[in-house]
Structure 1
Amino acid sequence: MSAWETTRFVVIPQLNRTTVLLGLLSIVLAGQWVFTNVSVLTQGGPDGVTDNVYYRIYTLGFEFFETGMASAAAAVVLLFFGIASLGWVFLRRSRAHG
């Protein structure tokens, strides 16, 4: 077995779960990492151009005092990432058994 075949058939399949987990965490945390920059530098920018979902939840809850709407938006974000994670788990299980 050549080095390329070892990498392709042994190493890459073993790194699949880790790679997907890091991808999901990067997507979830990227908005939180950018939150400080958006908040300090642009406050959402002209006409909300640099706005993201985390900054929008913050402004709804703490600037406009619409806590119900902010809570609902946070629940939708949580639900979206929960469904994406569960979808990945079920897809992974169906591939393993089928």
Structure 2
Amino acid sequence: MTYVIAQPCVDLKDRACIDECPVDCIYEGPRKLYINPEECVDCGACEPVCPVEAIFYEDAVPDEWADYLTADREVFAATGAPGGAARAEPLAEDHPVVMGEPVREAG
């Protein structure tokens, strides 16, 4: 089990969760942040600091965002655990679920 970042993060990327994560497992994509399930230690520190309540424990993701259950895992399927987001470049592209979301303007 791990935490998942769902649809409310798309085009927002507040980053408060990145600052709170003790194991540096939250990576930045072009439109959304992603939790690497191989690096997440299930501490839950990220969940309460998210201003839009986009972070859920894997078995508590609302049905309307069920597609996000696999998005984070699939983004890292090829790379595995890179060893921390601070040392990594931002992800080159988002998961297809994210790319299919309508663009939300800032504000």
Q: TM-score, normalised by structure 2?
A: 0.27
Q: TM-score, normalised by structure 1?
A: 0.29
Q: Relative CO higher for 1 or 2, CA cutoff 8 Å, sep ≥ 6?
A: 2
Structure number with higher helix proportion: 1
Structure number with higher strand proportion: 2
Larger radius of gyration: 1
